[in-house]
Structures are given as C-alpha cells and as structure tokens.
Amino acid sequence: MESAILDVLHRIQLPDNATRKHAENELAEIVRSNPSQAAVTLIKLSATSSFNVAARQSALLNLKRIVPLFWSAGFESFVGPAINQNAKSLIRDTLINLVTSDKDSKIRNGASYAVVQISAVDFPDEWPDLLDVLYSKMTSLDPIAVLGGLSLLQELFDDLVTEELFFEGGVGNATITECMNLLTNEHAGDKIKTAAANLYKSCLLQLQSPAVTEDPNKKAALEQHFGQIVTLLTVLLQNHILNIHSVTLRTTLYSIAYILNTEFPQKLFPKEAKLALQQETINDVISSSKVYVELVVLENEDKYTENNDPEINTSIALSNLLIEQFQFLGSLGKLQVSNSPVEYFLDSVLASSFVPLELEDNWVEDFNEFVTEETGVSPTYLVRNAVYDYVSELGKTDANYIYQWLVNKLLQFDKSDDWRSKEALLYVLGGLMENENDIKSETPLGDVLNGIASLLQDNEILVRVRVLLTIPDFLKMFEKSLNSSEFGIKSIVESLKIIALDQSSILKTSFLISLLSYNSFLKFESIPIKTQEDLYTLIESLLEEARDDTSPLLAEVLKLVQKIQKTNIRSLRILMQLAQKDPGNIQLVLDIEEALEDLFEDLDLDTYVKFVGSTIEDIKTAIGALGPDYSALLVMLLQTLNIFIYSCPENIPRELFPIYNHIISTVLLNTNDEQVLQVGAEGFTSLINKSSSEYFELEIVLKILEKYFNPEISDSGALFLGSFVVAVLKRFENQIQNVLPNVLSAVTNRLITAKEISTIEDLLSVLCYMIEIDLEHTMEFLQNLEIQKVFNIWFNNFQTLRGEKIEENVHALGKLFSSQVEFNFTVDGDEYFDPNSDIIITRSMKHKQQYQQVSVPFKIIKLLVFELGTQSLTHDQELGESHGHDHDHGDQDDDEVAEDIGEDGWEDLDDIGGDFDKLKSYIDDDDRGHGDSNNELKGYLIQFFKNSASQNIHNFREIYEQLTEEEKLILTNNIV
C-alpha cells in the first residue's frame, strides 16, 4: 500500500486538474478499503525525513482529511469504519514526535494541527497523557522540542482547555509551573522564553475567572503567585538587549504586566513594584526608540537586532515593543512620570511619534490614506497612536509638566530643526489636548498660538498639515481663557488663503478634518458667507480623487458648511455627486442622508422647489438607466427621493408630483428585490402622506399595495407594509370602501405569517389605526378571521415596541378596553411552569409551551401597567439626570428621612397595599394632582387607570385583585 499511496501523493501535487482529481479519487478508494492501514501509511510517510518536504506535507494533509471520516464517531462527519486502536496509538505518538523533533517548521505545524484535531475527541479519555508528554518535552531545553511543545500547548489552550480542566484537572497549575520554570531558567533562550510567556498569558486569562476570586484557597494561591510573577518581570525587563528575540520577549512581558495591572485587584500589585517597572520601562523606551527611528522611521540598515529569523519582521517587532511599553505606562496613570529623569524620556516620546518614511510617502502621494489614519478608522495601530493615547490619559501633574515642556520646545524651534520633530511635537500636543485634566499654561496663550501658527511657514508639507489640525484643538482646550470663537473664524479664513496658494490635496483634507474640531466650539452660521463659496470650491476640488473614508468626510463637512447659508444650492449638487461615487459605503450613505435632511430643514416652498428641480431630472435619468434590479446606487437614490418627499414644507406641489410618482411606482411595479421593495415602500408611503389624493391613479396604488401581500415577498421586503397601508387608508378613505375588507384580510394574513419583529410592529399600526377610527366594525371584521391569533401576536409583541409605535399601541389598547366591547375569546397569559420538573426548556421547545388562558381585558391591563411602570422609570431617570437626584439622602439615616417626609404632610402609601377601595378613594379625590404633565403618555395612562377604576370598566376591581403586588405598587405610586 505504501508504494501505491506514494504514487498517488505524487500525482495529487501535479498541476493538471484532471490528473489531480483522478489521483484524489484513487486515494479515497484506498482509504475506504482499509482506513487503518491507509492512516498508518500516511503517518509513516510524513515521518520519513528522507522524503522531500512536499511529499511529507501532502501525507500529513491527507491524514488530516481522513481523520474526521474514519477516526471515531466523536466527529460529526464520521462515516466509518473506525481506525483501530493500535493504529490510533501509533499515529498519536508519531504526531507528538513530529511536533517536538522534526527540523522542518512546516512539518511541525502540520503535525500540530493534526494533534489538535484528534485531541478534540480523544482528550482526556483516550489520550490522558497528552499534556504530560508535552510537559516532559519542555524540560529537555532542546529548542525544537520545547518550542514545538509550547506551540502545541498554546493551540490546545485556545481550543481545548476548559475552565474545569484548568482548575480541577490540574492543567492550569502544571502549565503555569512549566512556564515559570522556563522563564527563570538562565539556559533557556529568549525565543523559548517568548513562547513560554505567550502560553503563560493564556493562563492569565483563566486566572481572571470568578472561580479564583470566590474560592479562598485559589485566591490565596493567586496572591502568592502574583508576587512571584511581578518579581520575575522586574528581573527580566532589566535586560534591554536589542537582539530580535529579546525584543519579542519584552513585548510579551509588557503585555503581561499590562494585564496584571488592569485586570486584577490593585492591592495585588505593590506600588514599589509598579515604580520599579515604570522606571525600567522608561529606560527601555529611551533605548528602543533610538533604534526605532533608525530602522522603522528612516529605514536605515539594521546594525542592531541581529535578526536572522525569517519569521520575524524587525520593523513590526520594534513597533509592537514600543506600543506595549506605552500601553503599560499608560495603565500606571497615577504614578508621576515627572519624578523620573524626564528629559530623555520625553525626547523618546517625540521620537516614537515620528512619521515613518513609508507613511510619509503614502500620505503625500495619496491623501485618502492620510484621511483614513487621521479620522481614526485605520485598522493599523501605530507607535505614534500609542503615544497619543498615552499622553491623553496622563495624570494632572504629568500632563501639565509635559505640556509646558512641549511649549518651551515649540518656542525654541528654528528652520534648522528636523521637520519630524516639529510634526511629532504638534501631534503629541494634540494628544494632550484630549486629556480631561485641567492644564494651566505658564506661557501666555497668545504666544503659544503664534508659535503654532508660525510653523505654517515651514517648508515641509506634513508640518503645515499638522498645524491646521492642532490650532482648533488648542482653541478648544483653552476656550475659557481665549475668545476661541472669534479666533476660530479668523483661523478658518486665513487657512483658506494659505490653501489657495498651496493647492496641496493633503493640506486641503487636513483643513477639512480640522473643521470637525472647530464645530465643537463655534457656530458655523457666524462664518462669513463668502467663506462658504471658498469651502465649496475646496470640497469640489477633492471630489474626483476622493475614495474610501474621504467621501464620508466630505459629506460630514458639507453638513457644517451648508449651515453658513442654507439656501445655497451648491451643497445639494455636491451631495448628489458624492452619492454616486460610492453608494455602497454605509457611512457615506448615512452622512449624505443627514446632510440632506439638515439642508431641507425649514426651507420655504419656493426654495424647496428650486432645490429639487435642480436635480430631480438627473435622478430620474439615473434610475431609469439602472433598472429595477438591486444596486447600491438605486437604493441610495430612492432613499434620497424619500428625503426630498418627506422634507417638503407643505404638500407636494403639482409640478413635482408626476416625477416623484413615476419614478417610484415604475420601480416598485417592476422589481422583486427585497431591499428595493423596502426602500421604495418607504418613499411611496411618504408620497401618499404628502400629496393630494386627486393626484394619484388609485388603480396603480392598489396594484403596488397588492404586490406586498404576495407571500413570496419576504418580511424584510414588506418591512414598511403597515405604514404603507395606513397611509392608503387615510388618504383614500372614501375611495376604497369596496376593497377595504380585502385589504384588511390581506394585512391580517400577513401579520399572522410574519416572523420578523420589525415587520410585525409595523403591521400592528394598521390594527391600531382601525381601532382608533372604527372600533366596532374592526372587531366585527376580525371576528370572522383568526381574531385570537391576531390578539396574541399583538399582545406578545407589545413589550418590544419602540418609539412612536408605543404611543399608538397604548392608545389603541386603552380605547379597546374603555369601549366595553365583549370579548368571546381568551388570549395567552403566563406560561405554565412546573416547579418540580427537571426539564430545561430550549428555544425550540419554547414555541410549543402551553400558556394559561386569560381574558382580553385582564391582558390589556397587565400590558398597560407594564408600560406605566416603564414610563415612570424613564421619567424618574430623566429627573435624576436633570436635577442630580441619585436616590441618596446624604448622611441622613432612613428613619430621619421618613420622619421628615411625614412632617411635610406626605401620606404613607404602604397601607394601601392591595386594597382596591382605598385606592379608589384616592382616585375619587379630585383635588389631587400627579405631576406628570411633562410626560403625555404617562399622563394618558394615569387618566386611563383612574377612569377604569372609578367606573369599574370590565369589572376593573376583579382585575386589580388578580394583579401582582409589584403591579399594584406601580398603580399606587402613580395614581395616588
């Protein structure tokens, strides 16, 4: 069999698809004929070092493919027959040997994958000694054995080791012990210690479990271990050697120190140890940053790290080291850096913030990349980002010290200084401006501002870029001391003049980003109108090359610029150009929608017609060219039309209606795409709500409506069907009486079959509307359908309602109850619960649960009491926020508070309890108010319950007696 499999493995690697496919089928037949022998042959071939690596890899790969099929029934894809036990034992042993002894890393990695795969079903029952074997390999100090074992243990921890195994199975203690042994062994190399440190970090995640902190024995053991690991860190981090494996080791150690300081109780980490580690970290930053500048920033030849490991990128390794160092230092925020020899450290902080040569080239060549980085959406976390976050979180003393140090350095700059130092200083200053502590400037603020502005004359473009970003942050920071609004407007005007002379795209984008900062402290309405034209021109100049995150930036800036003068039509034109650039960009779509809504807000009708008229024909042409099938642009344009329609200050003018109607109805009649149907229904509903009924062809309206009743249209496509139907019922009330039963029947069927909560909520709007306008006939109509199902759907979804839907449903339920309609059916109450049952109810079983049956009036009262409680809670929270209430009486004890309340004449409500007569007596006292005028819905509910109780509607007394004590308390607290 060995020769046959070798031949097949050779042909599997050939480039010809037909040959490879035929060989794969042959191998499958061989395996099916004798899985055990085939598996043994494959593992032996993979372990034969005389074969070429490709053949051995292929053998391992195919072994991994057959394991799920023939190893054991523990795999979901098992087909059998199972590989026999002798073969399994041989395979497991061979795989461990490959992981811990083979010289080729590809073979070790492949074998490691197979071990994890098999251990998922065999460990611990069939493979009880797996971890012990790996621990024994780690004691040899043979690099391959130790690294292979550590790597495999890391994978097993990620995929296999549960909390129970970690604590009760002894795995955690054994693994931590082995890791500590390696970390303290002076004969173990840094590469081995790095792997041990990474495995130890996985153990730390388990030690954060409540299983440790809630168990006295485990807690004591953790405290003892904490002292050991902190001491070890202070020893290991004294080594600042720049060997690449020392760099990766220290990177992991700093990340461990960060976890120890942030994820465990502070009392475990002695302040003396923190101070020692802080000083070591500062010294390490000083030495590491110098090499970082040489190798990463300036890309000079590597004469430092002796990196001969092809798996480690020197630039990434050095960057990660500094990032971890600053993150750890940031976690020590209460310790004062200014107690250290700070000058050298702060020079290193600036050096760590230098713009690397690669980024410099990328940003200058493509401003879009700069925008991505500067707006905070870049997936790459740079060393300078870590520095920025570090200074933004400094304590007050350090923040003030570093601010003044930066200012002094700023005012000493001259033309001979390196541009990277200037840019980095401004960047770090920007981070300080994010600091929440109060910073006092020893230097006059005008001098500082002039010092920053003077760098606008620098020859380096990135320095000028950073100046534009820094000025508004500085004005915002010292807003209380400066006339920041006046300075800000002058700064915007002067910046535009500089940009007009420069015409650099990256300078333009930095200025646009800065406008977002200006918006935090000045009103754009106060900016000169002429400036608006300059800003539009600037934005237009970037449109053609804008992509990715720049397009949303332009839309966001447009929202600000159009505030200067809202009647300027240029904003609309630019927005429409932006919309067609990248309609699949969700953030761009949201920003454009917000900008359009802001633009159309409070326009008079003449200006509205002018705005829409300038672009509607272009939209019509574009949609006609796109056709009715889904495209991101079609959806975007339909959303734009909807904004146009519902933003009209009056009813849609006659001259615009035919265009709106033609565009939307044509799309809806011809599309079957659910997203187009969803957006189109929203727009058509707005059109019906904002237009005269005489403009429409009712036949077309009903034809479109009928389409949404088709069961083939998904819930998502019919998301706004309820609102659509209500709009039709309101607008065409007199014209549709003959088809109304069919419409309501179709709505009912759609409601009964709907699964999506949002669709159900929208369909319930139809029921609420019909109850409001014609309760009697609506109930008669529903009696002929599945009224019990409809009401159960309504009641079961009531508590998930949001926004305006809550109010319309509350009013409908209130009217239904108050009408004293007789209900000849029951609805679902609480689920039956058997306290003696050991059965766990799963989600699928929950659908089949039996419910107690209750009367409709009882269910309505339960739901409205729930809503009253919710409204009261919301109201109390709002009061607490506005008046600073925190339900705390300071130093007064409870008895004193209760006594004071009694003296002020407040009644003790506890004695009302479940006594309906006493509750009713309070209701009958008309002189009482309830102080809820600020919440109309709450006021409505209180009045509803007062009326229901005083008139005993639907035998309210009996319903009240069946309420829970908590529900009675809600009524008492709100009515009395």
Per DSSP, the residues of 887-905 read S--TT--HHHHHHHHHHTT
* Res 906: pLDDT: 40
Predicted confidence at residue 340, as pLDDT, reads 65
Q: Which of 116-130, 747-761, 875-889 has the lowest mean pLDDT?
A: 875-889
Confidence of residue 165 (pLDDT cuts 50, 70, 90): confident
pLDDT confidence bin for 804, thresholds 50/70/90: confident
pLDDT at 883 over 70: no
Question: Model confidence over 311-328: pLDDT tens digits?
Answer: 899 999 999 999 999 999
458 phi-psi bin (left φ>0, alpha ψ -120 to 50, beta other): beta
Return the minimum-mean-pLDDT range out of 97-111, 366-380, 632-646, 842-856: 842-856
- Position 8 scores a pLDDT of 84
| Among the ranges given (222-236, 240-254, 753-767, 820-834), the one the predictor scored with the smallest mean pLDDT | 820-834
Calpha distance 393→383 (Å, rounded): 16
Cα–Cα nearest to 183, from 145, 148, 230: 230
- Asked if pLDDT for residue 83 goes beyond 60, the answer is yes
**Are both 493 and 572 inside the same structural domain?**
no
Helix (H) or strand (E) holding 828: strand 826-831
117-121, 735-739, 908-912, range with the lowest pLDDT: 908-912
Q: What is the mean pLDDT of the chain?
A: 88
Distance CA 821, CA 777 (A): 11
Q: Are 12 and 23 in contact (CB under 8 A)?
A: yes
Q: Distances in Å between the alpha carbon of 344 and those of 297, 400, 613?
A: 19, 17, 64
- List Cβ neighbours of 785 (8 Å cut-off, separation of 6 or more): 745, 748
Give the 3-state DSSP-derived string for 147-168, with helices as H, strands as E and coil as C: HHHHHHHHHHHHHCCCHHHHHC
In a domain, 490, yes or no: yes
pLDDT score, position 368? 95
Work out the average pLDDT over 663-687. 96
Mean pLDDT of 487-492: 94
Which range is most confident: 103-107, 555-559, 963-967? 555-559
Residue 959 tokens read as: 């319903």
Torsion of CA 934, 936, 939, 944, to 10 degrees: 180
- Report the distance separating Cα 390 and Cα 428, nearest Å: 9
CB < 8 Å & 24+ apart, contacts of 888-895: none
Q: What is the mean pLDDT of residues 666-685?
A: 96
Question: If you search the block for the tokens 């990135």, which residue do you land on?
Answer: 462
Mean pLDDT, residues 336-361: 88
In sequence order, what E strands does 850-919 have? 851-855
Reported confidence tier of residue 415, pLDDT bands at 50, 70, 90: confident
What is the C-alpha separation between 812 and 806, in angstroms, rounded? Answer: 10
Mean pLDDT of all residues in 779-806 = 90
Q: Decide if 679 is inside a domain.
A: no
Taking alpha carbons only, the member of 196, 348, 334 closest to residue 278 is: 334
Give burial (CB, 10 Å; 0-12/13-18/19+) of 291.
Answer: buried
Share of the chain above pLDDT 70, in %: 91
Q: Output the pLDDT for position 336.
A: 75
Q: Can you tell me the distance from the alpha carbon of 646 to that of 690, in angstroms, rounded to the nearest whole number?
A: 7
pLDDT at 915: 63
Is residue 569 assigned to a domain? yes
> Could you tell me if residue 905 is left (phi over 0), alpha (psi between -120 and 50 degrees) or otherwise beta?
left
Confidence of residue 293 (pLDDT cuts 50, 70, 90): very high
Helix (H, G, I), strand (E, B) or coil at 826: strand
Over 60: is that where the pLDDT of 71 sits?
yes
pLDDT band at 337 (very low <50, low <70, confident <90, very high): confident
What does the block give as tokens for 488? 């800000």
Looking at the structure, tell me whether residues 378 and 440 fall in a common domain.
yes
What is the model's pLDDT at position 944? 93
546 and 516 in a single domain? The answer is no
Does residue 597 sit within a domain?
Answer: yes
Mean pLDDT of 106-128: 91
pLDDT of residue 192: 93
The reply to whether 487 and 346 lie within a common domain is yes
- 908 membership: H or E segment, kind and range: none
Residues 366-396 have pLDDT tens digits of 999 999 999 977 888 999 999 999 999 999 9
913: pLDDT strictly greater than 60: no
Rounded to an integer, the average pLDDT of 952-966 is: 92
Q: Is residue 878 part of a domain?
A: yes
> Nearest to residue 506, comparing CAs of 372, 384, 690, 615?
372
Using pLDDT thresholds of 50, 70 and 90, give the confidence band for residue 876: low
* Statement: residue 905 has pLDDT above 90: no
Average pLDDT over residues 917-932: 52
Does 878 share its domain with 945?
yes
Q: How far apart are CA 875 and CA 316, in angstroms?
A: 53
322 occurs within a structural domain: no
DSSP string, 340-365: S-HHHHHHHHHHHTSPPHHHHHHHHH
Residues 546, 504 share a domain? no
Whether 453 and 552 share a structural domain: no
Least confident of 49-63, 672-686, 747-761: 49-63
Q: Is residue 561 one of the residues assigned to a domain?
A: yes
Q: Read off the pLDDT band of 16 (50, 70, 90).
A: confident
What is the Cα–Cα distance from 199 to 147, expressed in whole angstroms? 11
Exposed / middle / buried, residue 33 (Cβ in 10 Å: 0-12, 13-18, 19+): exposed
Position 205 scores a pLDDT of 85
Q: Considering the chain, what percentage of its residues have pLDDT values greater than 90? A: 64
* Amino acid letter for position 167: F
How far is the C-alpha of 612 from the C-alpha of 509, rounded, in Å? 29
Q: Are 151 and 105 in contact (CB under 8 A)?
A: no
Averaged over 820-826, what is the pLDDT? 86
| Whether 485 and 529 share a structural domain | no
pLDDT at 26: 85
Residues 410 and 506 both lie in one domain: yes
Q: Enter the tokens of residue 52.
A: 């070429």
Domain around 566: 524-602
Distance CA(742)–CA(731), nearest Å, equals 17
pLDDT 10s digits, 711-743: 999 999 999 999 999 999 999 998 988 999 999
Residue-wise pLDDT for 459-469, tens only, equals 999 999 999 99
376 and 421 together in one domain: yes
Rg (CA), the chain: 36
Same-domain status, 364 and 493: yes
Give the residue among 204, 105, 94, 203 at the shortest CA–CA distance from 147. 105
What pLDDT, on the 0 to 100 scale, is given for residue 514? 97
401 in any annotated domain: yes
Look up the pTM and report it.
0.82
Q: Which of 537, 568, 602 is the last residue of a domain?
A: 602
Domain end, chosen from 501, 522, 543, is at 522
Which tokens in the block code for residue 333?
């925020």
Q: Are 563 and 577 found together in one domain?
A: yes
Domain boundary among 467, 502, 522: 522
Q: How many domains does the chain have?
A: 4
In the predicted structure, residue 258 carries a pLDDT above the cut 90: yes
